[in-house]
Structure 1
Amino acid sequence: MTLFICIATGILALATVLPLWRNPHWLVRGLDFPRLQLALIALALIPLQIFLIPWTQPTFWIVLIVTLGCLCRQLWWVLPYTRLWRAEVKHNPNAKPEHNLTIMTANVLTPNRQADTLLALVKKHQPDILVTLESDQWWQDQLDVLEADMPYCIKCPLDNLYGMHVYSRLELKEAETRYLVEDDIPSMHAQVILHSGDAVRAHFLHPAPPSPTENPESAERDAELVVVAKSVVESDQPVVVTGDLNDVAWSATTQLFRKLSGLLDPRIGRGMFNTFHAKYPFLRWPLDHLFHSRHFTVSSIERLPYFGSDHFPLLTRLAFTPNAKEKQEEPSTDRDEKSWAKSIAQEQEVGADDVPEPGE
């Protein structure tokens, strides 16, 4: 039993330390995902170590200290996404209706045929904007019934699991679909006009994940996030970036995106809102995201019910609150992070100038 505990502790330590290496290989970057699960494994190992290894053995103290170190490291990443942390974005439940911006993001899973269930969720929650990922021509045919109430659309049906659609009640200006890093992976960009007349710069993203079946490295995903971040940080407009980023909220690369862009995460201090995988409760991570500039406060954020996909939809209600800018601190980068971001973009030969700037 002591040997088993030592082996398990060694594997836990390796899984904790390996992501510190900035290597983009999927085996390394994939360990950013299960930080909560690894923390739970550490918690399970501690009582086993206490009760099954004699305290007089040096092995006991080694494995216990290593496990406690792993636990603290994993919690350091995930605790901000719990109610134990101070909320990064101010709560604003009483915003004027004309200042509201409600966005539903839904990765539909291309083979899923429960379009009626998703349409029912749209009817119930009445988002201003619906963003769908993995939507092909079949999904477009089903979703086009929304155009009666959501006439402003951007459509890119694809059969490669990277189709994307935007349906909006609010006017969309300068809408554009762009392939930023990979020729078959689209992103969408537009200026959203609120009922108040205020303009919001919006970017809808779905970069490919690092995986043995798609991209063996995260380099393409990371480059897309980096160049969008560099593009929006210079904008004086209110900004929203949303989509399935195929990265967890607490990863080093998502944190780099937030620091480069200066955008806020309304989940910090409120919850993880794990949207994937919908069918396996123990293997759930926050893959669907919404980030915004300091011009907004948040009215609510919630994970919506299952609709047949491997993702749950995410519904975020923002309130345009320009006077909140000075009360909300934006993240910032250091020199090392800027250098890392520069190398990521240069490797993929893409820059911030490649990102559309609607309204600028």
Structure 2
Amino acid sequence: MRFGHHFLSVMLGVIGILLGIASLPIWGESVTPQLAPLEHLRIGFAWLSIGLLMVTLPLRRFLAALVFGLIAFLNLFYLLPTFLTLDRGAPPPAAQHFTLLHANIWNRNPTTDAIAAMVNRERPDIAVMLETFHGLQEPWLPALDLHWPYRADCGAAGCANLILSRWPLTILGQNSSWFNAKGSPATLAVRVHHPAGDFTLVATHLAQPFDPVFQAQEGAWLARYLLTLPPPLVVTGDFNSAPWSPLIRKLEQQAGITRIARTGPTWPSGPLNPFGIPIDHMLGGPGVSAANVRRLPPFGSDHLALLAEIALTPQAVGPAKPAGEGGGTAALVPTP
């Protein structure tokens, strides 16, 4: 019995040390591939530490309970600010607004019929689809309703981003790291010609955090690029980064945008989702907000899709202009 108590104490101590070290706010800036992803796992760390706290209290292991309580507090300190400022209801009546669907469809999605079914069911005004490596030849596109006559992809740049729209689009820029400069993310920027006024929409997909130096380069490139685009600005993408990570915080600061759609984890989409990571984000520049934000049911991808109502403060906007770094000549998407 004494050995069992001693063994339990040792195990709780080892778990506490490892979990405490993993929860330290230092790994997001790490250049070590094995350590950088730890910063994005805070939801899992929080659940684990709270569970261990609940286990150790009845066992009267008060020192261990204190340690796990402090670890839970540390993780919640970073988590809660990214979730608390949530949906504020319907957008102001005077604001220009539209519904936006964002989905990383996963290039290995075995149920392509479910992709078209989801888009047809939700009927957003604009749909941004990532990992569409066949571009305008995606096999599920013919099954869509005629609700989205305007479609844009990256063409030769091969960024695997696709935008479907009710309204005309002008392509401002198409970019991918293999086609353009290394260290620049897969990005498609368009000017949407909404009846109430134009706005810029950017779809982007950053690298995974297992190469933190490369991912940081992509974030810095994206921040510079967004500053070259005409407002109002809406950005949606798979950033492969949690909202509390240094990458997202720096992007918001450097590009003058904020995360407007705050949800729970979007990856993975399966049973482990409650312990996962919010890596799909919608962000907006000044005058842009989101309401009625929700995660959609699984559709065969390893990500959950996001749907939100985006509101834009009325403001005068100029004509579309060529994108800056990584961009090309603005080109109107022809009417089908």
Normalised by the shorter chain, which TM-score bucket?
0.7 to 0.9
- Structure-2-length-normalised TM-score: 0.80
Distance apart, 1:238 and its partner CA: 0.8
Q: How many Å separate the matches in 2 of 1:312 and 1:30?
A: 20
Name the structure 1 match of 2:30: 23
User: 137-146 or 283-292: which moved more?
Assistant: 137-146
Name the structure 2 match of 1:143: 141
Which sections of structure 1, spanning at least 5 residues, go unmatched?
212-216, 324-351
Name the structure 2 match of 1:126: 123
Letter in 2 for 1:72: F
Distance 1:183-1:266 versus aligned 2 partners, 3 A rule: closer
- Alignment of structure 1 residues 147-226 onto 2, 5 Å: 148-156=146-154, 163-180=160-177, 181-182=181-182, 186-196=186-196, 198-211=197-210, 217-226=211-220
Write out the 4+ residue segments of structure 1 that deviate beyond 6 Å after TM superposition. Answer: none
Distance apart, 1:38 and its partner CA: 0.7
Tell me which of 20, 34, 43 is aligned to 2:50: 43
Letter in 2 for 1:210: P
Contact 2:185 2:222 in 1 (8 A): no
Distance apart, 1:236 and its partner CA: 6.1
Distance apart, 1:320 and its partner CA: 1.4
Distance 1:358-1:72 versus aligned 2 partners, 3 A rule: farther
Letter in 1 for 2:127: L
User: 65-74 or 121-130: which moved more?
Assistant: 65-74
Q: How many Å separate the matches in 1 of 2:39 and 2:124?
A: 31
Distance 1:157-1:306 versus aligned 2 partners, 3 A rule: farther
Letter in 2 for 1:170: W
Name the structure 2 match of 1:337: none
What secondary structure, in the 3-state scheme, does the structure 1 residue paired with 2:190 have?
A: strand
- Structure-1-length-normalised TM-score: 0.76
Contact 1:207 1:220 in 2 (8 A): no
Letter in 1 for 2:214: E
Name the structure 2 match of 1:245: 239
Letter in 1 for 2:325: D
Distance apart, 1:2 and its partner CA: 0.3
1:117 aligns with 2:114: yes
What secondary structure, in the 3-state scheme, does the structure 2 residue paired with 1:166 have?
A: strand
Q: How many Å separate the matches in 2 of 1:356 and 1:184?
A: 11
Distance apart, 1:64 and its partner CA: 4.7
1:354 aligns with 2:325: yes
Contact 1:108 1:311 in 2 (8 A): yes
Cα-Cα RMSD: 3.1
Contact 1:275 1:303 in 2 (8 A): yes
Which sections of structure 2, spanning at least 5 residues, go unmatched?
1-7, 316-322, 331-336
The CA deviation string for residues 283-324 of structure 1, in whole angstroms up to 9 with x for no partner, is: 42211111011212323111111111111111121111248x
Q: How many Å separate the matches in 2 of 1:318 and 1:136?
A: 27
Percent identical pairs in the alignment equals 22
Name the structure 2 match of 1:348: none
Distance apart, 1:232 and its partner CA: 3.0
More helix by share: 1
Contact 2:105 2:129 in 1 (8 A): yes
